[in-house]
Amino acid sequence: MKIQYKNLNQKLDKLQKQTKKENKVPYQHTQFHDRTVNLTNIELTQEETRLLNRGMQHSIERPLNTYWTTLITETEQAIRKLHSKIQEPYRILAAKKLKQIKEAECQQNATAKRQFYTVNKLKEKLVKENAMIVKADKAEQA
């Protein structure tokens, strides 16, 4: 069984190295127009502007503890639908990935908290000045 896991890991490592080599395309920076245009007297911080530039559909990631148990149970349900002979290798791979997600939580949690704080400050400014954020009409842009 250990030999099978070793072979699977070697194949996975080989594929990952191969895709990294293929994806190394020289990065060319393209200049785009800003997504947001402030037509009010409200002064926005760089962080607020950066958050607004992510777009209207940007969502802030929820803390891991709100969906952790659901993630584990859904992963196990998916593994149980596989053939019984290959369930155990997938459990090991899933456990490794879940561990990576759990370890990366601290950084994501801090970023999400900062973004929630920025959104709340932005909301306060908008309410205070009686302003709103709207999607631009392409016909009226200069």
Whether residue 57 has pLDDT greater than 60: yes
* Structural domain for 125, as ranges: 64-131
- 93 falls within a domain: yes
Q: Tell me the average pLDDT across 10-23.
A: 74
For every residue of the chain, DSSP letters joined together read -HHHHHHHHHHHHHHHHHHHHHT-PPP-------S----SSPPPPHHHHHHHTT-TT--PPPPGGGTHHHHHHHHHHHHHTS-TTTHHHHHHHHHHHHHHHHHTHHHHHHHHHHHHHHHHHHHHHHHHHT----PPPGGG--
- 79 falls within a domain: yes
- 81 falls within a domain: yes
- 89 falls within a domain: yes
- 102 falls within a domain: yes
Q: pLDDT digits over 59-84, tens only? A: 787 777 778 889 999 999 999 999 99
Report the domain count for the chain: 1
- 72 falls within a domain: yes
Q: pLDDT digits over 107-141, tens only? A: 667 788 888 899 899 999 999 989 888 877 765 55
- 142 falls within a domain: no
Query: What does the pLDDT read at residue 35?
Result: 76
For the purposes of burial, counting CB atoms within 10 Å of the CB of 8, is it exposed (0-12), middle (13-18) or buried (19 or more)? middle
- 80 falls within a domain: yes
State percent of the chain over pLDDT 70.
86
